[in-house]
Every structure is written in C-alpha cells, then in structure tokens.
Amino acid sequence: MTGWREFTEQAPELAAAARARLESAQHHVLATLRADGSPRVSGSEVGWYRDELVLGSMPGARKARDLQRDGRFAIHANPGDGTMTEPDVKISGLATEVTGDDQAAWVAEAGPPQSDAHLFRCALTEVVTTTVADDQTHLVITSWTPDQGVRVFKRA
C-alpha cells in the first residue's frame, strides 16, 4: 500500500485536489467495519503528520476500536453545499495505529485534546474525485490506485 507522500509523487494534481477538499472542511465521514463485519460511519477529522494522512480519535472510541481490529477504512470528504463546484473526494485504505514514541511526538506537536488520543496512519488503496464537467453535461471521475495509477472516466 501507498502512503500520502508516495501518492503525491505519483499523482500530484489529484493529490493536491484531494488535500484541498479535505482541508476545506473540518468534519468528514469515516467508514469502518464493526466486529460483525457491518459498516459503521462516524464523523471524523483528518490531518497530516510527517507528510502522511492521519486519523485521530478520542481514547476508546468505537471507530478507534474498529480500526485497531480491522484497519480497512473509507473517508468521504464533506460534500459541501451540494453545488459540486469543488470535487467530491473519497479515499480508501488501511489504517495502522501509531503508538509509543511516535504517538507521543504527535501529541506534543499536534496538541490533541487528550494525550492518550489514538492516531492512525493511513495507507492508501484508492483515491477518487468526482466533478461536473465545465459544460455541465457529464461527470468526470478521476481514480488512482497504486497498481493502475491515474485513470479518468466520463459518465453522462
């Protein structure tokens, strides 16, 4: 799997668009897997730590427990006001908890509300943006995966 830094090197324009969209709102939707395999969606914030996409969580939160058990996740960026003037962004991957000295360094730098907050580093398996074409006649879907790189699809 690929970290944000490598994704940025492989697909700089897509990475810039995705990051700008994620940074334009504080809250996004995080999907994780419950112990029984059913989906759970939670409000979540994302950030960057040492050039990697990260998720933070309050200590013992259900989404943190989900990620500790099964790191698969999906993030849907806050869709904004519904005008689609900015791209819709979805990211999938595998989250790995950061612990020990690395977690302590993050706490010292980021200053989360609680020093025992969870921190998860996100390895990426897919990044997708969806926009409306300039002529408003179709959607433009840009998809990146580590294996296939960037692909662009048009859907009427």
Give the span between the Cα atoms of 9 and 1, in whole angstroms. Answer: 14
Tens of pLDDT along the chain (156 residues) come to 799 999 999 999 999 999 999 999 999 999 999 999 999 999 999 999 989 999 989 999 999 999 999 999 999 998 878 777 889 999 999 999 998 998 888 878 877 777 888 999 999 999 999 999 999 999 999 999 999 999 999 998
Give the span between the Cα atoms of 113 and 84, in whole angstroms. Answer: 33
Q: What is the pTM of this model?
A: 0.92
Q: Are 124 and 19 in contact (CB under 8 A)?
A: no
